[in-house]
Amino acid sequence: MDCNKCVDHWMNRNSIKAANRISEYAKNTGLPSFHLSLSPSKENQLKSESELRKTAMKILKEINVKGGALIFHPFRQVQKSNDWKESPHFHFVGFGWMRLANEVAKKYGWVVIYLQKRKFVLGTFTYLFSHCGIKKGRHAITWIGKLSYGKLNVPKRPASSKCPCCNEYLVPIYYAGTDPPFQNEENFEGFVSSSDWYEEKTEYSIS
């Protein structure tokens, strides 16, 4: 993103949309979501992002993924120095049964790493959007399979509702802190610190 002021709003808004889409499919099917990373070999890293994406999609199809979100990352962070190095790879959050993943990936000269089932999907997407690849004319996230826009309809949330305590209209907010105030995706009722919570100024419409 070009604007440092807008990037947090963009990241949080899109993370919420993505998490809602994953949650809707999980609710409809009873299936848990999981997280994968898909990385090409050094030789394949020289290919264009479009070519790499086609191969990533082939791998996902062959390992029996049913649908989910695919996000491209052009860099990796070096843990010792916190610097960034060029290392194109993809992340997938979605559903399926992971059939012969290692064998399929090896066939294409890639490595697939299973990063476990997701308990906090919103946090996962917030992390993934924080350093994803952005290209003019292309979305940062691609929905595939059963979660594509033509196959899964996610009901829109109401524009606003009222607080049961004070009867004031609620407003959309987002969390910009480093430590999530709660660690799971269950509905939460109670008091949390107001620190690091901000009102979302853009139009609130999550689909």
What does the domain layout of the chain look like in residue ranges? 4-145
CA distance 160 to 168: 10
Contact 104, 62 (CB under 8 A): yes
What's residue 206's pLDDT? 35
H or E segment to which residue 8 belongs: helix 4-29
What's residue 182's pLDDT? 64
Task: Retrieve residue 120's tokens.
Answer: 């906090």
Mean pLDDT taken over the chain? 81
Express each pLDDT in 1-48 by its tens digit: 455 556 777 788 888 899 999 999 999 999 999 999 999 988 888 889
Under CATH, what is the fold of the domain 4-145?
Alpha-Beta Plaits (3.30.70)
Asked whether the predicted pLDDT for residue 52 surpasses 90, the reply is yes
CA distance 15 to 27: 18
CA distance 114 to 102: 10
Residue 128's φ and ψ, nearest 5 degrees, are -65, -40
The pTM of this model reads 0.72
Which one is predicted more confidently, 82 or 75? Answer: 75
